[in-house]
Structure 1
């Protein structure tokens, strides 16, 4: 695990789902309740861990003045009042789209053709770019505010 264990205690699956739901719902043209259910399903396994690793990397890259403990405290302060506060709706990019396909694969809602595309070398590269971009978005959501 490339991030402090406390980050996973603060940025739980339900918190991450809340931050990503508005963008997922808009991208799929579904209501937020269904989007949250799909994301919750998608983030039950390794995708959540990968996303938190990318978010932690992004946080450490942006916060030059804070050490690891200070960063975790900033996340705790941001989430203290309203941890389930919905995230902003992100602008969709090719990297975001790749992440959304990954989430759909994990949730079991993507086609077999999508799975084959994501298993190709280019698909894996796009998936990594998607994880990095969504990780940066999540980092910003987890540290905004105080």
Structure 2
């Protein structure tokens, strides 16, 4: 499991087992019964996402789908914040968390490039790749230079 899946699984477990803890931490107010039910459902979604990306190898398409789910969740939370004053702070905090997970998923789904030294990759001989000039001793002959 990658660190993102571990964090997502831990967060989902916390939401599932102690649904008011995260909200109390972020906005210093306990959720009502409806809010706790909603938080538990979100915890289950986080656990499902962490499990899916861990089991299926977490290829780029799966990370992008997961990022899309997180972005959609953030959008719905911002919509809730716009229409429900009582849940506004919790919804904005939840949207921020969802956007952080979305960013992490996009980063996990983006192929990493390996840095190249001086713009060249050295081959077995230590010469830059694609360099046609080869200096090699030939047995029984004096030193021969091949190439231009």
Shared fold (TM-score, shorter chain, > 0.5): no
If each structure's helix is expressed as a fraction of its own residues, which one has the higher value? 1
Q: Which has the higher contact order (CA 8 A, sep 6+)?
A: 1
If each structure's strand is expressed as a fraction of its own residues, which one has the higher value? 2
What is the TM-score of this pair, normalised by structure 2? 0.28
